[in-house]
A and B are shown apart, each in its own frame.
Chain A
Amino acid sequence: MAMERHERFSLPKVWKPRNVGEAWSLKRSFGSDAEYVAGGTLLRTWWEGEVAERPAHLIDIRSLPLLAGIRIAEEGGTGIGACTTLAEIRRSCGLAAEYPALPEAVLQIGAYSIRNVGTIGGNVASGIGDALPALLVYDAELLWFDGSEERIAISEWLERPEDCRRDRGKLLMQVRLPDRANAVETPTGGGNAPFSVYRKVGRREAFTPSVATVAISAGRTEDGRLERVRIAAGGGAAVPHRLYAAESLLEGKTPDPDLLPLIHEAVEETFRPKGDVFAGEEYRKRTAANLVAAELWKLSAGRQGKE
């Protein structure tokens, strides 16, 4: 059987660095013979699917204290340690109140048991994780360690070519979410409360890889116009990105149903999905555009959340 065949080969050695510097030095010295392992759930999928070879060395980063936990950052906002499990994010009341699209995205990743082990850091570092669109619309920043600490906006990091994103030995320490000024969202989304939402469509209702994912966030002025509009899409093997053309169509406007055809078109024109044998690019573009339009329509009609 598969397991016996694989595991008769020599198994990878496991290293347990005591701090971030040690972890990074190990990766530097082993290079492509080593992988950082957080939950290992995605790595296992890659190894078994023969997308990636199992390396000779695994660097366990789960017990590094700097990578654990969700905390309010000194300069405002919230810092999520890279090794925070998806289950912890899902359970966090603070995140649910201020950044509801993130726990919603996380709830749709894998299944309960996968979320107990899989981490936000692994999801982000993969460059294609389903949590990324939610992080994009909250203007998240990534805090990396590469000999010294480096901070970069998640949108900028995702726009880099793939070989800059992966395999350079950088260690993701934290995902930072900026303060959303008085952003406690009311469940009905009424009044001037800021608004944010996440939707995922897969080929099954639940526990399914994504065909398309979208996230939207916006603040609202006193007279009900949208400001700081963010719209992002991803799904499957696509690198998620913001949809600037659609954002600017909405910026400063009230969410009016008449705008929806234009926004739908802008999403279809600017989203860059990756097609596969199950769902081609056109289908994914259409799906993402439908999701964005449907959520904005609900917003204009004063309804929010899943139907």
Chain B
Amino acid sequence: MIDNRTELAPAQSRLTLRVNGAACEIAAPPSTRLLQVIREFIGLTGTKRSCEIGRCGACMVLVDGEPVNACLAMAYQVQGAEITTIEGIASGTELHPVQRAFLEEGGFQCGYCTPGMVLSVKALLDRSPDPSDEEVEEALSGNLCRCTGYGGIRRAVRRAIELGR
């Protein structure tokens, strides 16, 4: 077994992934946080940095369609994955229905938690277009808002469900 190890080398600083549909190759060390890859290496700053320990959801992105806290994930864990950030969900100038719903229902005030909220809701509606209240709560339990209050956010989710019908 020890012999096998000599053939092993630590993972290289070469990260290949797709971000919002575009192929990227980045010279990021494998244990860099995904959050840093997205904001600093790729320059997409819609993914917000806040608690940095997975407790607030401001840095939520989709990894192969599923919500993941970009502050927790490391580059090697998303090797070859498809990443969706808030910049990647509108089509041209046409907002994504979930974005529209947040705007129309006043689902935000300062807006700092909004990119993460929108992505969590998008992932929810992609897997379950007509979710129950419990499903909505479960899907958003990792996204904290400290100014709007959750009333407007719930309304926005309801509206997004209607827009998707």
Contact = CB atoms under 8 A, between A and B. Distances in A.
Interface string A1-35: 11100010001111111100110111001000000
A41 B8 contact: no
B92 interface: no
A25 B29 contact: no
Interface residues of A, number: 40
A110 B142 CA distance: 8
Interface of A: 1-3, 7, 11-18, 21-22, 24-26, 29, 39-41, 44-45, 48-49, 57-58, 60, 62, 87, 107, 110-114, 116-117, 206-207
Contacts, number: 114
A117 B68 CA distance: 7
A45 B69 CA distance: 13
Interface in B25-58: 29-33, 35-36, 49, 52-55, 57
A12 B30 CA distance: 8
A229 B114 CA distance: 47
B52 A48 contact: yes
A24 B1 contact: yes
B81 interface: no
B91 interface: no
B31 A14 contact: yes
Contacts of A39: 72
B22 interface: no
Given A15-B11, A25-B2, A117 B73 contact: yes
A40 B1 contact: no
B138 interface: yes
Contact of A44 (B54, B63, B141): B54
Given A7-B36, A60-B76, A116 B10 contact: no
B165 interface: no
A49 B55 CA distance: 13
Given A1-B49, A26-B5, A40 B77 contact: yes
Contact of A113 (B29, B57, B74): B57
Contacts of A15: 8, 10-11
Nearest to A20: B1
Interface of B: 1-2, 4-5, 8, 10-11, 29-33, 35-36, 49, 52-55, 57, 60, 63, 66-69, 71-74, 76-77, 120, 137-143
A22 B5 contact: yes
Contacts of B33: 3, 7
A89 B142 CA distance: 18
Given A44-B53, A113-B68, A11 B31 contact: yes
A48 B53 contact: yes
A29 B2 contact: yes
A52 B124 CA distance: 34
B1 A25 contact: yes
Contact of B36 (A3, A17, A62): A3
- 4 tightest A-B CB contacts, nearest first: A111-B142, A13-B10, A14-B30, A113-B67
B98 to A, nearest CB: 16
Nearest to B60: A113
19 contacts: A1-B49, A2-B52, A3-B36, A3-B49, A11-B32, A12-B31, A14-B31, A14-B76, A21-B1, A25-B5, A41-B54, A45-B53, A58-B74, A62-B77, A110-B54, A112-B142, A116-B63, A117-B72, A117-B77
Nearest to A13: B10
Contacts of B49: 1, 3
A48 B35 CA distance: 15
A2 B52 CA distance: 8
A116 B8 contact: no
